[in-house]
Chain A
Amino acid sequence: MFQDIIHAINKATSALTQGDLSYRISLGSSKSELDDVAAAINTMLERITHLMEKTRQASNTIAHDLRRPITYARFQLEDAALHAHSEEDLRTAIAQAIKHLDHITSICGALLRIADIEAGMCRAAFTWFDLALALQDVLELYTVVAENRGLIIKATFPEHLPFYGDRTMIQQALANVLDNAIKFSPCAGIITCTAHFLPPLPTAENNGSIELKITDQGIGMTPEEMAHATERFFRAEQARHAPGFGLGLSIVQAIVQLHGGQLHLADNTPGLIVRIDIPLPFPGKSATL
C-alpha cells in the first residue's frame, strides 16, 4: 500500500524533473488513501503548471511590450541613416528615437518599482502622516491639467486624516488613478475625489480604515476589463490610442497591497469608480499591518 504511494510519487516527481508538466497520477476507483495523496499531488502539479504558465506569459508580454519602442527607435534611426537629406532631418529623427528610448526607461523603471514594492522592503519607511495634506498636494498638481481639458475635479475630505504608510507611494497611487480619470474622460465632465475615515468594526483587528474614492464620467470599463485592469501591460481595446503602457494600475495595486489594503473597480455609469480601502494600525504597534 505505502509502496504504491511512494512508487506513484516517485514517478510523478521524475516526470516533473524531466520537464513533463502534464503528468498526473492516475486516480483509482476505490476511495483509498492513495487517492487522497494522489489528488493532493495532482492539485499541486496543477498549481505549479499554472504559476509557470503565468511567469512565462509575464516575461513574454514584457519582452513584447519592450519590443515596440525598440522597434520604433530602430526604424527611426535606420530611416534617418538611409534617407535623411539634411542635418535638420537627422536631428528630428534622433530626437524621436531618444523619446522612444526614454519610453523603454520608463517601462523598466515602472517594472522595477513594482518588483521593489512587491518585495515589501519599503515597509520599513512607513510613518504616520496627514493624508489630507498629501492628497491636497497631488490634487493641486493635477487640477490644472484637468481644467485644461475642461474637466472639474471635486475633492471632499476632512481637514486632517492621520494615516500610516509611505507618503510618496500613496501620492503616486492617487496620481496614477487621477491620470487615468483625466486621460479616459471626454473633454468636459466631473471627477470626484473623496477620502474619509471608517471606524473599526467591533470584531476588527485594525484601528479602522481609510477609504479613498475617485470617480470619473469617462469611457469606463466592462466587468471583463476590470478583472484584468491591474495586470501588467493590460490596456482595454478603446484605450490603445491614449498614451501609456498599461502599468499605472499595476503600480497602484502593488502599493495598495503593500499597505495591506484593497483596490476595487466599479461602474459609475458612465465612467469608472476606483475605491481604495486601507486599514490603519493601532498607534504604537505600528510596524505590523
Chain B
Amino acid sequence: MRVLLVEDDQTVSNFIAKGLTEAGHLVEQAEDGKNGLSLAQHEKFDVIILDRMLPGGVEGIHILETLRKQNNSTPVLLLSALADINEKVAGLKAGGDDYVTKPFSFSELQARLEALVRRNRNEAQPQTRLNIGDLEIDLLSRNVRRAGQKIELQPREFRLLEFLMRHAGQVVTRTMLLEGVWDYHFDPQTNVIDVHISRLRQKIDKPFQHALVHTIRNAGYMLQE
C-alpha cells in the first residue's frame, strides 16, 4: 500500500518508514504540516499517518480537518505523545480513523494500518455471513458452525470471533481487541485478552483437526486457515 507519513521527529519517521518499506509498502515522508497537507491533497494514498503535533504552525488536527472538509476520505491514523483519552476523542472527532500513542510497538502500528486499509476497501459491501476455512458465522442469526457442526458461543465470545473474522489473515493486537470488542480504553494490567482467546480456542479449535486462531509472537493473534 501507499503510505503518507507526516512526522517531524526524524528518528521516529525513519523507524516507521524502514519498517513499512521492509513490509513491502511505499512510504512518502513529510517533515512538516505544510508539505504533508500539500502531498495529501495532490497525490493518492491508501492511508495517512499523521503526527498530532507538528512544527511550523500547521498542526496534525488542522491537516485532518482540512482534508475532511475537502471530502478527502483517505483513512488517517493519528500519532501522539498524549495518552489522554480526551485527546484521543478530539482526534477521532476531527475525522481520524485510529489513534496510536507514542511510544508504540511497530507491530501495533502495522496491524492498525492494515486494519484501516482493509476496512476502507470492504466498507462498500455489508456482509451477513463470514467464513474462513470450514468455520462460518451468520451475523444475523448469530449461528456459528465449523465443519457443519453447530458451536454455542456466549454473546461476547461471538463478538470476539466476529472481530477476528473481519480481520482474518491480519494480525490483531490485544489493544485492538480490548477496544474493538470490549470498548475498553485503558491498560487492564493483566493479560485478560489471552484468557478470553484461550476460551474461544477451546470451542472453535480444540475439537477440530487444525487450529484457526494463531498466536503471533510479540504482536497478537491472527485468524487464518
* Contacts from A to B (Cβ < 8 Å): 95, 98, 101-102, 105-106, 109-110, 112-113, 116, 121-122, 125, 137, 140-142, 144-145, 148, 168, 171-172, 175-176, 179, 182-183, 243-244, 248
A175 x B189 contact (CB < 8 A): yes
What is the bound-complex CA distance between A101 and B104, given in angstroms? 11
C-alpha spacing A113/B86, complex, angstroms: 12
- The secondary-structure label for the interface of chain A is helix
- Nearest CB on A from B189, distance (A): 5
B192: chain A residues at CB < 8 Å are 141-142, 144-145
The answer for the CA separation of A116 and B103 in the assembled complex, in Å, is 19
Pairs across A and B, CB under 8 Å, 13 listed: A98-B105, A106-B187, A112-B83, A113-B83, A137-B182, A137-B183, A137-B184, A140-B156, A141-B188, A141-B192, A144-B195, A183-B190, A243-B190
CB distance from A234 to the nearest CB of B (A): 16
User: B196 and A168: CB pair below 8 A?
Assistant: no
Given known A-B contacts A105-B103, A140-B156, A144-B196, A168 and B189 have beta carbons under 8 A apart: no
B187 touches A109 (CB 8 A): yes
Chain B residues near A140 (CB-CB < 8 A)? 156
User: Which residues of chain B from 83 to 110 have a CB within 8 Å of any chain A CB?
Assistant: 83-86, 103, 105
A243 contacts across to B, CB distance below 8 A: 190
How far in angstroms is the closest Cβ of chain A from B172?
Answer: 17
Q: How many A-B residue pairs have CB under 8 A?
A: 54
Q: How far is the CA of A106 from the CA of B195 in the complex (A)?
A: 21
User: In the assembled complex, which residues on chain B have CB atoms less than 8 Å from the CB atom of A171?
Assistant: 184, 186
**A72 CB → nearest B CB, Å:** 17
Residue B199, interface by CB 8 Å: yes
Chain B 170-225 residues near chain A, CB threshold 8 A: 182-190, 192, 195-196, 199, 218
Please indicate the chain A residues that have their CB under 8 angstroms from the CB of B190 in the complex: 145, 179, 182-183, 243
Q: Are B199 and A144 neighbours in the complex by a CB distance under 8 Å?
A: yes
Q: Please give, as numbers and ranges, the residues of chain B lying within 8 Å of A176 by CB-CB distance.
A: 189
**Known interface pairs A112-B83, A122-B86, A140-B156. Does A244 touch B189 (Cβ–Cβ under 8 Å)?**
yes
